[in-house]
Chains A and B, each alone.
Chain A
C-alpha cells in the first residue's frame, strides 16, 4: 500500500521537492542580508523607543527586492495549500473513478477502507510536511521584518497578528494544507470527475479562507477590551459628513495603539457611554482654525472604547486556528472513507 501510494504520487512529490529547493535557495541567499541590515540599524541592542528605528528599517526595505520577496512569501504561503488541494487532493480518487481503475484497485487484497486511509494518511502527511517546511523557511526569513513591524503602530496590515500575515506564519499553514487536501479528496469522491473537482476545491477553499480570516479568526479567543481618553490632537480620523439636508454628523477615531496588537474596533464614546456621532460644535463648522475644533472636542471628555488582540496572543490564536482546520480536515477525511465504503465497486 505504501509502495503503491508512492508509485502513483512520485511526480507530485518530485515537483514539490524541486519547488521547496528553489524557495530554500532564494531565501537562504537573501536572508542574511535582511539580518545584516537589522543589525546595522541597531535594532538588536535597542531597548526603549525603538519604533523610530524599526520604522526606518521598514521604510528602507519597502521598495527593495526584500520588500518584494516579503509580499511574494505571503502569496506563496497562501497559494501552496490551495495548490495541494487542487493538484494532490482533487485528482487522488476522482482519477480512479474517471479512468475506471478503481475497479482494479478495490479488488486487491487490501480493503477499500485501508486503501483510502493509506492514501489519505500518507499524502496528507506529505501535504502537511510541505507546508510546514515552507512556513518554517518563510517565517525564519521574515522574522526581522515581523519583529520590526511589531514595534510600530497597530494600524499596519502586515503585523504578524493581522489576517493577511497571520495565515502565512507559524503552524496555521500546516492545518490549511491538511484541510485543503482533505477538501480536494472529498470533492473528488463526491463529484467523481477530476477537473470539476479541482475547480470546486479552489472555490470552496478560497471562500473558507476569506470567511475564517474575516469572521471567525479574530473571535477565536475573546478580544481584550480597553478604554482610554480621546485626544483630538493626536486622533487618526476626525471627519464630518452630512447626509443631504440632515444634520452634520462626526466620525472620530482615536490613536489607541499597543505594539504589535491587532485593533479590532475603536469607537469613540461620550461620558455617558454611547457612541459619539456629533453634532459638531460651532468651532468645527465655522471657518476657524482646526485647533479650535480640537479644543472643543477635548472639552467633551470623550473616551476610546477599544477591543484588540494583544501581540502575546499570537501563539494561542495560531493553535486555535490550527485546531479548527484540523478538525475540519479530519471530518472530511471520515466523510471520504465512509463514502467509499458504501459505494458498490
Chain B
C-alpha cells in the first residue's frame, strides 16, 4: 500500500522537491547578504537605542530585491497550501472515480478503508512536511528583518508577526493550512467525483476560509486585551470634520509595543464614542490648527484600544494549528466514510 501510494505520487513528490530546492537556493544566496547588512549596521551588537540602526537598515532595504523577495515568500506561504489542496488533494480519489480505476483499486487484498486512510495519511504528511520546510526556510531568511523590526520598536518596514498577513505566513499555522487544504481537496474529489470541478471548488473554499478566518475568527480566538490611554490631539493619526452636523472623527496614535490593534476608539469621559460636535476653534478658517488641538485636548478624551499583544504569537499559532488540524481530521473521516459506503 505504501509502495502503491508512492508509485502514484512520485511525480508530484519530485515536483515539490524541485520547487523546494529552487526556493532554498534563492533564499540561501540572498540570505547571507541580508544578515551581513544586519551586522554592518550594528544591529547584532546593539543593546539599547537600536532604533536609528534599525531605521538605517530598513532604509537600505527599501526598494531593493530583498523587499520583493520578502513579499514573494509571504505570498508563497499562502499559495503553497492552496496548490497542495488543488493538485495533490482534489485529484487523489476523483481521478480514480473518473477513469474507473477505482474498480481495480478497491478489489485488492487491501480494504477500501485502509486504501483511503493510507493515502490520506502519507500524502497528508508529505503536504505538512513540504510547507513546514518552506516555513522554516523563509523564517530563517527573514529573521534579520524580524529582529530589526523588534529592536527598532515595532513599526518599521510594517513587519508585525502577530497580525495578518504575516501571522499566517510564519510559524506553524501554515502546517495546519496545508493539512486542511489537502483534506479539503480529497473531500471535494470524493463528493464531486470529477477532477477539475473538484479542483475549482477546493480553490474557492480554501480561499474563502483563508479570508474569513483572519477577518472574523482569528482576532477572537483569545479574547483581546484592552487598554485606555489619554488622547493627545497633537500626535493623533487622524482628525476629520464632516461639514453637515459638524461631526468629528478622531483617531489617536497608539504607540505601544508591537501588537495587532483590533479597534481604536476615542471615548468621552462618560464612556461613549466621541463624534463631536466640533468646537468653534476647529471650524474657524482663520484660526491655526493648534487651537483646534488645544480644544480637543481640553475635552479629556481617552483612547480605548483592543489588541492582541505580540507575546500571544505562539499561543495563537498553536490554537490556529489545532483548529485547522481538527477540521482536516473531520474532513478525512468524511472521506473514509464516503469511500466505505460507496459500492465498489
Contact residues of A with B, CB < 8 Å?
Answer: 11, 15, 40, 60, 62, 75, 83, 87, 91, 95, 98, 155-157, 164, 194-196, 198-199, 202, 236-237, 239, 241
Contact = CB atoms under 8 A, between A and B. Distances in A.
B67 interface: yes
Nearest to B91: A195
Nearest to A202: B83
B40 interface: yes
B63 A15 contact: no
A15 B204 CA distance: 10
Contact of B196 (A87, A155, A239): A87
Contacts, number: 41
A244 B253 CA distance: 45
Interface residues of B, number: 25
Contacts of B232: none
Interface string B245-259: 000000000000000
Contacts of B237: 60
A156 B238 contact: no
B102 interface: no
Interface in B186-210: 195-197, 199-200, 203
Interface in B53-96: 59-60, 62-63, 67-68, 75, 83, 87, 91, 95
Given A40-B240, A194-B196, A195-B95, A62 B60 contact: no
A195 B195 contact: yes
A202 B83 CA distance: 10
B252 to A, nearest CB: 14
Shortest 7 CB-CB distances between A and B: which pairs? A155-B63, A195-B91, A91-B196, A199-B87, A87-B200, A237-B60, A155-B62
Interface of B: 11, 15, 40, 59-60, 62-63, 67-68, 75, 83, 87, 91, 95, 99, 158, 195-197, 199-200, 203, 237-238, 240
Contacts of B60: 237, 239
9 contacts: A15-B200, A60-B238, A83-B203, A98-B99, A155-B62, A157-B67, A157-B68, A195-B95, A198-B87
A194 B203 CA distance: 17
A60 B87 CA distance: 40
A237 B200 CA distance: 47
A279 to B, nearest CB: 17
Contacts of A156: 63
Contact of A198 (B67, B68, B75, B199): B199
Nearest to B197: A11
A83 B86 CA distance: 12
Contact of A157 (B63, B87, B158, B195): B63
B87 A241 contact: no
A40 B243 CA distance: 11
A69 B37 CA distance: 33
A228 to B, nearest CB: 18
Given A87-B199, A195-B199, A199-B87, 8 more contacts: A87-B200, A95-B196, A155-B62, A157-B63, A195-B87, A199-B15, A202-B83, A237-B60
A136 B151 CA distance: 43
Contacts of A15: 200
A237 B63 CA distance: 12
A295 B204 CA distance: 59
A280 B68 CA distance: 31
A95 B196 CA distance: 10
Nearest to B196: A91
Contacts of A75: 75
A195 B195 CA distance: 8
A236 B59 CA distance: 8
